[in-house]
């Protein structure tokens, strides 16, 4: 009997969780272009172009700026395993789940990890880093710029100034922020940063854009021991991407050709739009969405400075978290729940890339209102959508 294999047919969803976001059709078309060899001169030219555009989005002149062939978590790990050696001291700022993950990754390098924590939904005052470094120096300060679990923004520039004053490097996780709000690597004095392809940049998951300053590269090339990871060793990685001194490239791994096409197109879209315009669009989406939530009587969890692209909503008393998310998924809309102590207490909504626009925001508000009303929640019908539209109307 002939065996039959079904066609791949995933549902079409509106992805309004913390990532991935929906992919721009231009990026999907770029991914359908012909695959060539990963050492083909034409592809090496595409790699160089992608590096250059990535520097612009990171707002840096760092040569060592590339999309690592792995997801965002690998980019964060690459910073830790390249900058830290056994016995080094590192101070990790924790304002949520992903700060805890940075501390865990740092501990696996054999470094001595010291943590500074803030209550969930808040950021760490910069002076706390100064107090810690004055008490005892460290090689590295690491922290999350945009905490995906709580929706809080951590101020970077003053922490970087403090770190450098005490002789430390600073590394940031900007997985959620890059492409949706300013990440000014050179202006802020950041030594290393890591992000992802699938959130505000709007490409599929699979790449982690990283950047290392000349100061960070001096530390990396002067290591006493080998990097704990062969695959993430940037000394080896940049032999493939180019060290800026010669045109010859050395095989390190087979680059994901199609994903590099996707990243190139995502960066092209961002730069064509203009970074400041892109940041303003994400901020406007947040303002419209927040106005809609307020009109429904819902509140945001984040107590400190809120991220525009990641909105954490308090679940009203008596409302079933999973039931609401299941109801939205029946309408092909995805949002996410909370992590750890926030599980069952909050929803996390991403307004990223192509979804930081009026139609997705208004569609979600209308569907969320309906799902809540079906559970007996009382609110003025249509008020959320009207409030969001009013915000958008103000900007026209």
Contacts for 239 with CB less than 8 Å, ≥ 6 apart: 249, 250, 252
Runs of H (alpha helix) within 251-357: 257-273, 275-296, 321-330
Distance CA 311, CA 313 (A): 6
**Which candidate, 341, 342, 364, 340, places its Cα nearest to that of 351?**
364
Copy the structure tokens of residue 16.
Answer: 């309004």
- 348 marked among binding-site residues: yes
Distance CA 130, CA 158 (A): 10
Beta bridge partners of 194: 173, 210
Strands 192-194 and 169-173: parallel
Is residue 135 within a helix (H) or strand (E), and if so which, with residue range? Answer: helix 126-135
Distance CA 152, CA 380 (A): 29
Beta bridge partners of 210: 66, 194
Distances (CA, A) of 365 to 319, 369, 387: 16, 6, 10
Known binding site: residues? 348
Known binding site for substrate: residues? 348
């Amino acid at each position: 009997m002939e065996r039959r294999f079904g066609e791949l047919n995933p549902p079409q969803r509106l992805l309004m969780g913390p990532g991935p976001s929906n992919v721009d059709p231009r990026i999907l078309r770029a991914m359908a272009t012909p695959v060539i060899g990963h050492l083909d001169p034409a592809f090496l030219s595409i790699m160089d172009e992608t590096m250059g555009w990535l520097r612009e989005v990171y707002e840096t002149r760092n040569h060592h700026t590339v999309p690592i062939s792995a997801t965002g978590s690998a980019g964060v790990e690459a910073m830790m395993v390249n900058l830290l050696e056994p016995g080094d001291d590192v101070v990790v700022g924790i304002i949520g789940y992903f700060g805890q993950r940075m501390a865990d990754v740092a501990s696996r390098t054999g470094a001595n990890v010291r943590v500074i924590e803030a209550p969930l939904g808040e950021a760490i005052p910069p002076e706390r880093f100064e107090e810690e470094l004055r008490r005892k120096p460290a090689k590295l300060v690491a922290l999350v710029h945009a905490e995906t679990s709580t929706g809080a923004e951590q101020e970077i520039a003053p922490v970087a100034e403090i770190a450098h004053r005490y002789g430390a490097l600073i590394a940031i996780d900007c997985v959620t922020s890059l492409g949706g709000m300013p990440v000014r690597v050179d202006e802020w004095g950041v030594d290393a940063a890591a992000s992802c392809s699938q959130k505000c940049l709007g490409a599929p998951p699979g790449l982690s854009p990283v950047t290392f300053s000349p100061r960070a590269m001096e530390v990396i090339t002067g290591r006493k021991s080998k990097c704990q990871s062969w695959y993430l060793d940037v000394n080896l990685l940049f032999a493939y991407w180019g060290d800026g001194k010669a045109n010859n490239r050395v095989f390190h791994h087979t680059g994901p050709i199609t994903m590099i096409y996707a990243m190139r197109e995502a960066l092209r879209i961002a730069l064509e739009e203009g970074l400041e315009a892109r940041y303003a669009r994400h901020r406007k989406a947040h303002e419209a969405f927040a106005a809609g939530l307020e009109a429904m009587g819902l509140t945001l969890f984040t107590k400190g400075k809120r991220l525009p692209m990641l909105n954490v909503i308090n679940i009203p008393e008596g409302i079933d978290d999973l039931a609401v998310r299941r109801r939205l998924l029946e309408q092909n809309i995805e949002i996410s729940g909370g992590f750890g102590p926030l599980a069952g207490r909050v929803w996390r909504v991403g307004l990223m890339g192509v979804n930081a626009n009026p139609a997705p925001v208004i569609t979600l508000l209308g569907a969320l209102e309906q799902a809540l009303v079906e559970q007996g929640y009382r609110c003025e019908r249509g008020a959320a959508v009207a409030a969001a539209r009013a915000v958008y109307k103000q900007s026209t």
